[in-house]
């Protein structure tokens, strides 16, 4: 969404404040993307240095969360926004909350990478998890792009991508069960990998949430708990 699409207010400062919180969300999203990429790379490579950096840098994600929340609270208190301005602030608050949780999931993946570093069990699983990680990274990037442009069609495409992520996650879980049944000694290690896969699947769900907030802002309708088919039919191209 271009700045020109924002309402022109009696106070130019109000326009500036609205644009600043959107910019902060995108900066936070960029940081979260980097955290996720580093965590997945550490898991795939079986090394702990990058993973430890993800864990130690999580405070930066949290700092963005607090800062944006304070900015939005100030706008609500002092500007008393209405209509699309209010929807924008609410969408920002909700998106920020989901980005913070995505950061938490990236940290969990990093912790599993630290536990799995240098271990050879279930190496065949790593390829499947790597593919799942790639899909999730692409989905997060697409969700942030949809938010940046406030593009409903792009948001709907993001929601559709979650179907493939769920399918890939289920495949990882089936393969994990096979490993554990064939070699009970692998159970502790394989469980670490399944927890990492579970975190990636949850990130996909958070990306879906962000796409719903985009639709809410643009269309003025809360589409949570609405089927994907219905959303596509009502708001798709």
What DSSP string runs through 125-177? Answer: HHHHHHHHHHHHHHHHHHHHHHHHHT-HHHHHHHHHHHHHHHHHHHHHHHHHH
Structure tokens at 234: 């009502």
Please determine, for residue 6, whether its predicted confidence score (pLDDT) is greater than 80.
Answer: no
Please determine, for residue 187, whether its predicted confidence score (pLDDT) is greater than 70.
Answer: yes
| % the chain with pLDDT above 70 | 92
> For the domain bounded by 3-235, which CATH number is listed?
1.20.58.220
Residue with tokens 């708990």: 225
User: What pLDDT is recorded for position 45?
Assistant: 85
Please determine, for residue 29, whether its predicted confidence score (pLDDT) is greater than 50.
Answer: yes
Mean of all residue pLDDT scores within the chain: 91
Please determine, for residue 72, whether its predicted confidence score (pLDDT) is greater than 50.
Answer: yes
Please determine, for residue 25, whether its predicted confidence score (pLDDT) is greater than 80.
Answer: yes
Q: Which of residues 235 and 145 earns the better pLDDT score?
A: 145
User: What pLDDT is recorded for position 5?
Assistant: 47
């Amino acid at each position: 969404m271009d700045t020109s699409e924002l309402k022109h207010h009696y106070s130019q400062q109000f326009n500036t404040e609205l644009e600043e919180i959107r910019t902060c969300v995108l900066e936070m999203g960029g940081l979260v993307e980097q955290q996720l990429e580093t965590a997945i790379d550490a898991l795939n490579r079986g090394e702990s240095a990058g993973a430890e950096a993800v864990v130690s840098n999580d405070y930066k994600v949290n700092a963005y969360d607090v800062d944006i929340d304070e900015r939005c609270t100030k706008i609500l208190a002092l500007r008393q926004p209405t209509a699309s301005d209010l929807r924008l602030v609410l969408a920002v608050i909700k998106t920020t909350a989901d980005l913070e949780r995505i950061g938490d999931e990236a940290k969990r993946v990093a912790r599993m990478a630290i536990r799995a570093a240098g271990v050879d069990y279930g190496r065949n699983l790593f390829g499947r998890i790597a593919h799942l990680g790639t899909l999730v990274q692409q989905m997060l990037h697409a969700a942030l792009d949809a938010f940046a442009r406030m593009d409903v069609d792009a948001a709907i495409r993001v929601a559709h991508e979650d179907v493939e992520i769920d399918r890939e996650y289920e495949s990882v879980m089936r393969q994990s069960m096979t490993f554990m049944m064939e070699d009970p000694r692998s159970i502790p290690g394989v469980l670490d990998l399944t927890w990492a896969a579970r975190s990636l699947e949850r990130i996909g769900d958070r990306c879906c949430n962000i796409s719903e907030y985009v639709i809410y802002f643009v269309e003025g309708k809360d589409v949570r708990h609405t089927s994907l088919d219905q959303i596509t039919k009502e708001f798709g191209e």
